[in-house]
Amino acid sequence: MKLGLFYMVVFALSVTACQKKPDEEAHVPVVAEATEDPDWKTHPMLGYEVIREFPHDSGAFTQGLLLSQGQWIESTGGYGTTSIRRVERETGKVLMKTDLPAEFFGEGAAEMDGKIYQLTWQSQRGFIYDSKTLQKLDDFQYQGEGWGLTNDASSLIMSNGSDRLRYIDPKTFRVWRELQVRIGGKPVNLLNELEFIEGEIFANVWHTDQIVRINPKDGNVVGVIELAGIDAKEKRRDPEHVLNGIAYDPKTGEMFVTGKCWPKIYQIRLVPQK
């Protein structure tokens, strides 16, 4: 899959089409004032340059990462090691943390309207926290597995390890849309951690060093980011310690990535690949 994803994008760009279903009209995402698109949006094949490194807890099995009030919000996984935490960006110090009972395996997280939403893997149960205090406010139910989570300012967007993303109403938790992710008509499976960036959905592909850029209108992959070599693989203690964490600051355009139990969070610049 790794090489296939990267090269199939070239052929996929000529077959994309945009369609909107009638029942999607009530969930149109909030769109900010138009600004100039970043240069990377015009390139389907992207590599990276590391701008800066930040310390990261190498014991944190990262399942979700985002920026909130200049700090990291991180969801960690594992039975008995699941938490939602607020972390100081410069030092990696955990400022506050809420642990979940050992029966829950934490997954992706997203912030929306002053709340943090956190998924769990196979429990079909998510948790809602106050974004400032991380005090648990409520929980919610969903069907199937939970993997990655983001939002488009209107809906929560959830992955489950398949080629499909589900759009969830944050008030009723009803799945109102399912988006099939394709490259050249072929499914892209194992979609994991998500981040909504400049009108696109960025998704880690589990057990690869790639992020796919997804058009939320039709599910077509419009680009691939190749992150091979960003960490020293020989230092990974476990084959499950894979790339899995994407964060973005829309005010500055800064982008960050990390992985499960990696000692660093990397600020990167996206650059075209030949």
End-to-end CA distance of the chain: 20
Q: Strand 83-87 relative to strand 149-151: parallel, antiparallel, unpaired?
A: unpaired
Eight-state DSSP code of residue 135: -
User: pLDDT of 178-229, one tens digit each?
Assistant: 999 999 899 999 999 999 999 999 999 999 999 999 999 999 999 999 999 9
Question: Cα(210)–Cα(40) distance, rounded to whole angstroms?
Answer: 16
- Are the beta carbons of 106 and 77 closer than 8 angstroms? yes
Cα Rg of the chain (Å, integer):
17
**Residue 115 within a domain:** yes
Residue 67 counted as domain residue: yes
Helix (H), strand (E) at residue 2: helix 2-12
**Are the CB atoms for 44 and 224 separated by under 8 Å?**
yes
pTM score, two decimals?
A: 0.88
pLDDT tens digits for range 105-144: 999 999 999 999 999 999 999 999 999 999 999 999 999 9
Paired residues of 180 in beta bridges: 164
Residue in 199, 221, 69, 45 with CA at minimum distance from that of residue 134: 69
Binning pLDDT at 50, 70 and 90, where does residue 13 land? very low
Residue type, 224: V
Please give the mean pLDDT across all residues of the chain.
90
Percent of residues, the chain, with pLDDT higher than 70: 87
Confirm whether 38 is domain-assigned: no
Given strand 210-214, what is the order of strands in its sheet? 191-197, 200-205, 210-214, 221-226, 45-55, 264-272, 254-259, 243-249
Residue 265's DSSP bridge partners are 54
Whether residue 23 is contained in a domain is answered as no
The pLDDT value given to residue 4: 54
106-112 and 115-120 strand pairing = antiparallel
Has residue 154 been placed in a domain? yes
Which structural domain range is residue 238 located in?
A: 45-272
* Closest to 82 in 3D by CA, of 139, 46, 56, 121: 121
- CATH number of the structural domain spanning residue 150: 2.120.10.30
Q: How many domains does the chain have?
A: 1
- Which alpha helices (H) appear in 13-120, and where do they start and end? none
